[in-house]
């Protein structure tokens, strides 16, 4: 079945550590997105990519980095510069045309040790 796979489901970060969240899709979608979800707030866009080897900052990119070396993969690194990383992270993909729905993975919950 086609879909988006995020791993791990749960992740713990130590002080000063970088951690990488995995996102893989087999939907052949061009666009991919990373969101952060905090209680009582809407999803906030961290980074997005419309095409391989290109990505753009979203509203809250500080302390995060991404790469898009393959169409299927869009990993997110939460760096030590992100001082409040505890959140639920969601990856999504979308077919190229505007108005198409976004397809989401089941998220990674990141906590601080």
Partner 1 sequence: SQKIEQNSEALNIQEGKTATLTCNYTNYSPAYLQWYRQDPGRGPVFLLLIRENEKEKRKERLKVTFDTTLKQSLFHITASQPADSATYLCALADSNYQLIWGAGTKLIIKP
Residues that bind partner 1 (CB under 8 A): 4, 6, 35, 40-45, 48, 58, 90, 92, 98-99, 101-107, 109
Nearest CB to partner 1, comparing residues 58 and 75? 58
Report CA-CA distances (Å) from 111 to 11, 54, 94, 106, 108: 6, 29, 28, 16, 10
Nearest CB to partner 1, comparing residues 78 and 92? 92
Tokens of 71: 């169409």
Look-up of token digits 């130590």: 14
Distance CA 98, CA 106 (A): 23
- What is the smallest separation between the CB atom of 43 and partner 1, expressed in angstroms? 4
- What is the smallest separation between the CB atom of 45 and partner 1, expressed in angstroms? 6
CA angle 17/63/15 to nearest 5° reads 25
- What is the smallest separation between the CB atom of 44 and partner 1, expressed in angstroms? 8
**How far from the centroid of its chain's Cα atoms is residue 19's Cα?**
12
- What is the smallest separation between the CB atom of 100 and partner 1, expressed in angstroms? 9
Nearest CB to partner 1, comparing residues 6 and 82? 6
């Amino acid at each position: 079945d086609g879909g988006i796979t995020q791993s791990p489901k749960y992740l713990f970060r130590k002080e000063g550590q970088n951690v990488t969240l995995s996102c893989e899709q087999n939907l052949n979608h061009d666009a991919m997105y990373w969101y952060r979800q905090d209680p009582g707030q809407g999803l906030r866009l961290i980074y997005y990519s419309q095409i391989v080897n290109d990505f753009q900052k979203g509203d809250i990119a500080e302390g995060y980095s991404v790469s898009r070396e393959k169409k299927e993969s869009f990993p997110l690194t939460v760096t030590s510069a992100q001082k409040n990383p505890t959140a639920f992270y969601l990856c999504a993909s979308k077919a190229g045309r505007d108005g198409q729905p976004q397809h989401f993975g089941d998220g990674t919950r990141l906590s601080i040790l």
